[in-house]
Structure 1
Amino acid sequence: MPDTSPFANPGPELWKLLGWSPDAGQLRQFIELQQLLEDWNSRVNLTRLVEGEDFWIAQVFDSLWPLLPELMSPDTARRCIDVGTGGGFPGLAVAIALPGAELTLVDSVGRKTAAVAAMAKSMGFGDRVLVRTERVERTGQDPSCRGTFDLAMARAVGAAPVVAEYLVPLLRRSGEGLLYRGRWQDTDDMELKSALKLLRARSMRLQRMELPCQRGARTLIRIGPEAATPRAYPRATGMPSKMPLGVQADDSRS
């Protein structure tokens, strides 16, 4: 039975709710991205969110709603990184919506990064989308990445203190980390603030959104550095998730 939801296709209802509309060229790119994702997903298991509402709400809309301030100046030069990009989101959606941005997409799963790199190349993004196959703990200690990004994003990657440890070391002093979360509680906030204190960073703004069609609650937390991140962070591969900063009393290295 065909999907009759107004959000099953990139119609005006979707963009009105988002508060931003793509131009004709960007709309073609979003449709092309869906087609490429469907093709690659038939060969490599990237995501189940490839058709109808799954794509337009759970991929495109959910990738872009936290970036409304940036969408108002899409041609501004920005260096952005998507940590744990998976099937390419939010990174590839951001590449379409912010044509002035250069993006680095990081994931440790080679079959996923190969597919994402191929999609980026097919869409003509080869000159401004770089795909890295590695654990983000290594990315954060790489001098070519550490402290160089204006925006660092992570969606559905891990607990908030873990994601903060991934993102903060990547940010330049004026940069912002975007933590895409679901529901958010006071205990989550306390743990994140404890982690940020160790990282010499702070929470800057919290936004909430109810996705249409009962797709669930979303929270965005913007974080930013207050000083240079201690060299110890991010810690060795696996340590941030094994011993999250927000709950470890003995993690006071600087």
Structure 2
Amino acid sequence: MTDSLWRRQLEQGLATAGLPVTDQQQTQLVAFLELLAKWNKAYNLTAVREPAEMVSRQLLDSLSIQPFVTTDHLLDVGAGGGLPGIPLAIVMPDTQFTLLDSNSKKTRFLTQCVLELKLANVTVIHGRAEACDPSVRYGQISSRAFTALANLVHWCGYLLADDGQFLAMKGQFPDDEVAALPNDWRVKAHERLQVPGCSGERHLLIIDRVSNTGV
């Protein structure tokens, strides 16, 4: 019953959001939710445990930033339960995704998702951003309620290409965090995300280096 509920909610949400997702990809997205719900019982991967809320607050919320993913290789930091990295990787098979998390239980879950869902475009790294190979730089780095914006650019800025962007997902607009950004970073764009089935505010902040903008 849960699978059919999730599939119905997903189809309706994707239609409302206008996101083109194939039937096979929808099947993979539901399979991902099944894995998340199963592992969540032991590993505490996400606070969302009510089945009726999982499609909107996990899948559709993650997919809401798909139109803004323009790089061919995205780093998702603090990947946790695979949100937004795994749903995005499912619907964007031609884009490479690297999922980074310092919690070994969470990276074990992510590795299992890659195996079971046969995601050839996903790499999982267990560790902190500060320990990553500085020679590998990414066109975009995503984070979903991972940390304050100042921490995000401080910890991960060296992993971002010179002309790259952070895609920071937040709930309410973080005025204090924006004000605390270092002077060499700016919010280039701000999008209020519309997520079918989610009543709370959702925002995407696109952050880049001031030095590369001529501002």
Q: Identify the TM-score tier after normalising by the shorter chain.
A: 0.7 to 0.9
Extract unaligned runs of 5+ from structure 2: none
Give the letter aligned to residue 158 of structure 2: P
CA distances 1:59-97 after superposition (whole Å, capped 9, x unpaired): 111112123244xxxxx7711111001111111011012
Give the equivalent residue in structure 1 for 2:161. Answer: 172
Work out whether residues 77 and 100 of structure 1, in 8 Å CA contact, stay in contact via their aligned partners in 2.
no
Partner Cα separation in structure 2 for residue 96 and residue 162 of structure 1: 29
Say which SS state the counterpart of residue 217 (structure 1) adopts. coil
Partner Cα separation in structure 2 for residue 23 and residue 85 of structure 1: 24
Q: What is the TM-score normalised by the length of structure 2?
A: 0.85
The reply on whether 1:205 has 2:189 as its aligned counterpart is: yes
RMSD: 2.7
The percentage of aligned residue pairs carrying the same residue is 27
Report how many aligned residue pairs link the two structures. Answer: 211
Work out whether residues 40 and 46 of structure 2, in 8 Å CA contact, stay in contact via their aligned partners in 1.
yes
Which is greater in Rg? 1
State the shift of 1:26 in Å: 0.9
Counting only pairs closer than 5 Å after superposition, residues 233-248 of structure 1 correspond to structure 2 as: none
Work out whether residues 78 and 100 of structure 2, in 8 Å CA contact, stay in contact via their aligned partners in 1.
yes
Say which SS state the counterpart of residue 43 (structure 2) adopts. coil
CA distance 1:7–1:216, shift in 2 (3 Å):
farther
Give the equivalent residue in structure 2 for 1:158. Answer: 147
- Which of 195, 209, 215 pairs up with 1:225? 209
Say which SS state the counterpart of residue 62 (structure 2) adopts. helix
Give the equivalent residue in structure 2 for 1:231. Answer: none
Partner Cα separation in structure 1 for residue 165 and residue 195 of structure 2: 23
Work out whether residues 6 and 55 of structure 2, in 8 Å CA contact, stay in contact via their aligned partners in 1.
no
Give the equivalent residue in structure 2 for 1:121. Answer: 115
Partner Cα separation in structure 2 for residue 224 and residue 22 of structure 1: 29
Give the equivalent residue in structure 1 for 2:173. Answer: 184
Counting only pairs closer than 5 Å after superposition, residues 12-51 of structure 1 correspond to structure 2 as: 12=12, 14-49=13-48
State the shift of 1:53 in Å: 3.8
Runs of 4+ aligned residues of structure 1 deviating over 6 Å after TM superposition are: 5-8
State the shift of 1:18 in Å: 2.1
